[in-house]
Amino acid sequence: MNYANATDSELSPIFIEREQDWRNGAIVYQVLVDRFAPSNDIDSKRLLYPKPKILRSWQETPEHGTYLEKEALWSHEIEFWGGDLKSLTHKLDHIKSLGADVLYLNPIHYAYTNHKYDSLDFHQVSPEFGNRQDVKTLTEAVHNLGMKIVLDGVFNHMGRNADIYQQASLDFKSPYRNWFCFNNTYPSGHRSWNNAVNLPELNLENEAVRKHIWLDEDSVVQSYLKDGIDGWRLDVAHDIGFYYLDELTNAVHTCKPEALVVGEIWCYPQQWFPSVDGVMNFTAREIIWRLCEGKIEPHVAAKMFEQMIQDAGIEHLLKSWLVLDNHDTPRLANMLPDRRRQKLAQLLQFCFPGAPNVYYGSELGMQGGEDPEMRGPMRWDWVTDDNEHLIWMKTLIHLRQQHRALKIGNYRPVHSNKLLAFERYTDKVEESVLCICNPNEEQITEYLMVPNSKLMNMGGMIDLLNNARQTIYIKASVIEVTVPPLGTLLLSPDVSETHGYSTYKRVL
């Protein structure tokens, strides 16, 4: 018998629909192909790294280099570690064992540098990584493991070494002349991303450019989707702008309705929807980071989170990626050296509405400062059963998998003075999860009102982190909690019967 009230009857189909959309609350694992898994054919690949490129050994650590005037880039941009799509395919078991839902690859397009954000030809794969068939093989392997795959689309700019750019820059009559923006007022004679000479921006106002990249059926975006990939992460999507993002996203959904378009947008997320399905939620990252640093007070962070969800809408945020660290930021271990603060940040990453983005190696405790230090080769020697970072990451992912509210539930703030607290909930009270974090250096005891009408008086709570019953009881919607310094509580209502009786018997 279903005792749900009218409100729950309205909510139930919403959660069912969210659950059926793989994009909501997915766990994303991010990989830099060159640095993830050492190639089995490294000797035969050495010719792919001619001077001034350098092929490093897997044991070396990236270091900041010198600026190369001739190449118009930094020397560390052309130092390689030799990973490729085939070696990645052989390591998918690690990603699957974590419980990831999505594999996200940094750019694999044919390019000169190791990071591939300077594409020479979007349709081709960089030979150091493999070819289009290798992408298909990887995609099939990913799908066979029940995961999705998302590629990085760098469609705001290309590399200066691209043939079409070279033609355009030398020949005023070239058909590609209007693919770029040439003007002597620019420092390098062409408009380039962030004034980086090596990254000439594409003239997206030229329809021929947009047809090549996303509008035509054989365009870059659509052809990879037809090869089997499940979506695109768009580099510097804010530079592409609202109108063209909307056009690109519509093209993606026309080609593959269930595909994901997530934008790298370092802006407040509110108005970027529905031009993209989701954003990389750097606003949430900044709040979590500064809260865990002690720079933002908990009650202020709570108001920030609440306003963001009200403004952007939870449906969009569920599809947005929650990033703590990635290839553009120092690693979490460097951002928050205190292990307790790291765990606090990661718990929030896995409890706040969105899709947690796990940067390769962060599950192992890898360190790395500013570029290129955070792009070190994967430490496979750290993948051990006693690695406490790995144990904690698997714990968080398991909690997401076991508790539906953390993945697709609504968000409800729980007001506090010195703690950050909120509830993730669905139409079923037994699925509610209360997240309580103490970012202070001292133990905090507070009374919290949890505004959930189905949390029953004198009902108990279960400590999800320790899988144990807590000595916390609900008294007229108020609970007393004591949270240790830099500690967390993750609570769910205890709806089980005690001696044959449950006060929840008619509200489940």
Terminal-to-terminal C-alpha distance of the chain:
10
Sorted by sequence, the CB contacts under 8 Å of residue 66 that are 6+ apart come out as 74, 75
Give me the DSSP letters along 316-327. Answer: HHHTSEEES--T
Residues 106, 116: Cα–Cα separation, whole Å: 8
Residue 2, pLDDT score: 61
Q: Check residue 3 and give its pLDDT.
A: 61
Distance, CA of 387 to CA of 335 (rounded, Å): 20
Q: What SS3 state is found at 67?
A: strand
CA distance 370 to 334: 9
Instruction: Copy the structure tokens of residue 151.
Output: 């590629």
What is the spatial distance between Cα 255 and Cα 215, in angstroms, rounded to a whole number?
A: 10
**pLDDT value, residue 1:** 46
Domains of the chain: 21-45+82-159+200-407 (3.20.20.80), 160-199 (no CATH), 410-494 (2.60.40.1180)
pLDDT of residue 507: 87
**Whether the model pTM is above 0.85:** yes
Q: Yes or no: say if 95 and 103 are a contact pair by the CB < 8 Å rule.
A: yes
Which one-letter DSSP state was computed for residue 442? Answer: S
The pair of structure tokens assigned to 345 is 């940040």
Q: What's the order of all strands across the beta sheet hosting 355-359? A: 278-279, 260-263, 231-234, 148-153, 102-105, 28-31, 355-359, 321-323
Residue 281's nearest CA partner among 341, 353, 384, 381 is 353
Distances (CA, A) of 496 to 135, 424, 449, 459, 501: 49, 20, 22, 10, 8
Per-residue pLDDT of the chain (508 residues; tens, 9 = 90+): 466 788 999 999 999 999 999 999 999 999 999 999 999 989 999 999 999 999 999 999 999 999 999 999 999 999 999 999 999 999 999 999 999 999 999 999 999 999 999 999 999 999 999 999 999 999 999 999 999 999 999 999 999 999 999 999 999 999 999 999 999 999 889 999 999 999 999 999 999 999 999 999 999 999 999 999 999 999 999 999 999 999 999 999 999 999 999 999 999 999 999 999 999 999 999 999 999 999 999 999 999 999 999 999 999 999 999 999 999 999 999 999 999 999 999 999 999 999 999 999 999 999 999 999 999 999 999 999 999 999 999 999 999 999 999 999 999 999 999 999 999 999 999 999 999 999 999 999 999 999 999 999 988 999 999 888 888 889 999 999 999 999 999 999 999 888 778 889 888 7
The helix-helix angle for 282-293 and 298-312 (nearest 10°) equals 170
